[in-house]
Each structure stands twice: as C-alpha cells, then as structure tokens.
Chain A
Amino acid sequence: MKAFGVLLRRELSLAWGRGGGPLLALTFYACVVVLLPMASGRAPERLAAIAPGIAWLALALAALLSLERLFERDYEDGTLDLLALGPAPLEAVAVAKCLAQWLATGAPLALAAPVAALMLGADLKVMPLLVLCALIGGLAFAFLGGLGAALALGSKRGGLLVAVIVLPLFAPPVIFGAGALDGYSAGLPWTSGLLLMLAYCAGAVALSPLAMGAACRNALD
C-alpha cells in the first residue's frame, strides 16, 4: 500500500509537472470546442441541441490524446523495468498511473466541460449532471486509454494506433453518458444511463488493470 502511495505521488507530480500538466489537455479541449461552431454553423438553436453531446465527446478525445504516452516514456527509459522488479505488482503500477492521469487531467477537464457546454448554448440545468458524467466517464476513459497505451507499447506509430484501439472501447460510456444527458435535458428518465455508465466504469476500473499488467509484462519480455 505504501508502494502504491509513493507511485501515485510520483505519477501525479509527473502529470502535473511535465509540459504544463493539465493545461495541454484543456487547451486541446478548447480548440475542439472552438472549431465546432465553425464547422456546424453558429445558429444558436442548432448548437444548443448538440452542445452537451459535443462537450462530452470532446472530453473523450482530450482524455485519449493525453493518455497515449502513459507507459511509453517509462518503457523507453527503463523505468518500467525497475517498476516491474519493485514490490508493487505491475497491475498496481497501472492503477496508479491511470488514477493519477484522471486526477491530473480528467478532473480539470470535467470542470471545464460545463464552461464549454455553456458557450455552445446548453441549458444551465444540465451542468451538474455534465460534471458528474464527465468525472465518472473520465475515470473510465483513463483506464481504457491506459489499456490501449499499454497494448501499443513498443510500436513505432503510437498515437494513431492507440486511438484506433481505444475509441471503439469508448463507445459504451459515450453512449450511456450522452443518453443520461439527453434524457435529463429532455425531461425524460435519465438515471438508467448514468447507472449504466457507472457500471461500465466500475468494470473498466476493476478489469483493465489485469490486462494492462499482462500487456506491460509482454512488452518487457
């Protein structure tokens, strides 16, 4: 447990410290949100209809792109070899990395999501739910993205490959989250979407560390 705490602190300081920390992901998020009205037209009623969904999807993309090198730098400089020899199993290392990633970029992104949705003209009343969805979904995105990053270890074309592996896995949480947001803003039942997303997130947090550990061990062989 102590090893896990040390790891988590290390990952957190790395995630906060390097290259502006969450600023990069937030800027990417802002870029996507700015480009969207340019592409789809700026008519307020049209934007308002898709605002929560877009704020939600851009979040998934920002989460994904900040994850792509989660294991790569440690793999390249040999840190991952040392971590594999350490007292904590590689599964715990993976959990620490994903959790730190979520705290350092997922949570700031979740706080930025309502601002983006507001600028796109979404109704104020969905904002609390949007933050909640973004927090839960962000956790799922972090673990699934970490899984993709671990599987792609050692390939020469990282980013695009990780996206191709991971984006299909994002489908269920994106659908459930958007379902909850849509239902809520239309005044329909929305809790089932939220609960399903919670369930998916719990499954991802529980299962993907096993796959990440196996993938890291495979890459280190």
Chain B
Amino acid sequence: MDARHTFDFLTNPERFMAFSRWAAPLLGVLSAIAAAVGLVLTFMVPEDYQQGDTVRMMFIHIPAASLSMFIYLCLGVASLLSLVFRHVLADLAAQACAPIGAIYTVLALITGSLWGRPMWGTFWVWDARLTSVLVLLLFYLGYMALRGALEDEQKAARSAAILALVGVINLPIVKFSVDWWNTLHQGSSTFLADKGDHLPAIYAWPAALMALAYLGGFGALWLVRIRALVWRRKARSLAMKLAESAR
C-alpha cells in the first residue's frame, strides 16, 4: 500500500465512517470488559497499610486525571491539524473531544475530592495540582464557549483551534506547577517513579486495566461523537439542497 494512503481511514470521510462504524462499538466493548475485570480486581486488592480501604479510589481517580490531560493533548493535535491542513475531519474531531474532555476532568475532580475527604480531611484544597486541573476544566469550558459564541462555523472552528493551541501551553505548566509548589498532593508514584516508591504489582494490574477502560471509553465516545457531527453536516447540506430545489 502506498504510504500516503496509510491514514486514509482517518482522513477520507467515507473511509472514516466505514472504519469508525466497527471501531467505535469494538472499543466500547473492550472498554466495558476492562472496566468489569478492573473493578472486580479493585475490590480484591488488599487494603493499603496507610490508606486502608480508600486506596481503591486510586483506580477510578488516576485514569480520569490522566485522561483529562491526554484529551486536551488530542484537542491540541486535532486543532493543529485542522489549522494547518484545513481538514474538516480534524476540526470535527477537535469539536467532538472537548465536551468529553471536560467530563473526564469533572470526573477527576469529583473522585479526587471524594478521595481527599477521608485522606486529607477535606474535599478541596487549593493545592497546585488540584488548582491546575480546575484551570484545565476552565480551558475546556472556554474552548466550548468560544466555539458556541461565533456564528460563522468556519471562523468559530479556526478561532477555537487557535485557542486550543494556546491552551496546550497550559499542559506543561500543570506538570511544572506540581514541582514549584510541592504541597499536599503527592508526586506521581505509578510506573516511572523512582525505585522503592513504585506501585506494587498487585495494585498495578487493576490500575492498568482501569486506565485501558477509561482510554477505550474515550476512544469509543470520541468516534461516536465525530460520526454524529459528520451526520449533522450531511443533514444540513441535504436540507440546503432540498431548500434549493424547492425554490
């Protein structure tokens, strides 16, 4: 196959619709299976010697938090592609992933504060990472607000894409701020942390499964939303054609 056509299933609308038709449900089913197994394992792991039962919050909190940042990255990449190549599908992908990202961010904030209550004794502290995740949510909301406020769809798309790229600058600052304040929120202790501070294997399995479940869920929802936006465009152009022929 010609290398130029390797990504046709993402760039050609027809091929994309054919690909996402089976990819979206497949991802959804995989995500559901991973979530089911991951949740069972979540309740089977032994209690943590410090956190007790509440350690189980980790498995639903951390994937949401990582995904909230990952989805913003997806938004930034899709926006860049739509700005550079003026590609319709890239723009629809950006439009489709913003609300999903906002919901994952809200999920991370809610599960985090439910975990913070028994552990830190408070639902919310103005610590570096919590604050920057909240700012991330504001970025999503600003993107959606700008997109909705401009009436000309193409201008709205480009303007929002520029804003998304500006917001990508926020992502490194999210990471950096943890080091600068270094307050209540603990540092990362997953897979790349220093020796002696890493997650034991018995906790790593459900964590990895839940991460896959969240990731697959995002993929499925993203594809479904892009499909819906493609259909909406088709419906609109059909309605225009109808109105033309009726005149």
Which residues does A use to contact B, with CB under 8 Å? 147, 151-157, 161, 164-165, 167-169, 171-172, 175, 192, 196, 203, 207-208, 211, 214-215, 218-219, 221
Contacts and interface: CB of A to CB of B under 8 A. Distances in A.
Interface centre among A152, A168, A172, A208 (most CB of B within 10 A): A168
B155 A165 contact: no
Contacts of A165: 142, 145-146, 163
Give the interface SS of chain B, mostly helix, strand, loop or mixed.
Answer: helix
A67 to B, nearest CB: 16
Contacts of B150: 152, 154-155
B141 A154 contact: no
Contact of B166 (A156, A157, A167, A211): A211
A165 B180 CA distance: 25
Interface in B122-162: 131-132, 135, 138-139, 141-142, 145-146, 149-152, 154-155, 158-159, 162
B173 interface: yes
Given A154-B155, A165-B145, A167-B138, 15 more contacts: A151-B146, A151-B162, A151-B163, A154-B151, A161-B146, A161-B149, A168-B138, A169-B166, A169-B170, A171-B131, A175-B177, A203-B169, A214-B162, A219-B155, A221-B154
Given A196-B180, A219-B155, A156 B149 contact: yes
Contact of A164 (B131, B141, B151): B141
B91 to A, nearest CB: 13
A211 B159 CA distance: 9
A168 B135 contact: yes
Interface residues of B, number: 28
Contacts of B180: 192, 196
A215 B173 contact: no
Given A154-B155, A218-B162, A219-B155, A168 B142 contact: yes
A147 B152 contact: no
A218 B167 CA distance: 18
Given A152-B149, A161-B149, A218 B142 contact: no
B165 interface: yes
Contact of A215 (B154, B159, B170, B177): B159
A214 B159 CA distance: 9
Interface centre among B151, B162, B166 (most CB of A within 10 A): B166
B222 to A, nearest CB: 23
Contacts of A211: 162, 165-166
Nearest to A165: B142
A165 B142 CA distance: 5
Contacts of B138: 164, 167-168
Contact of A147 (B131, B154, B155, B166): B166
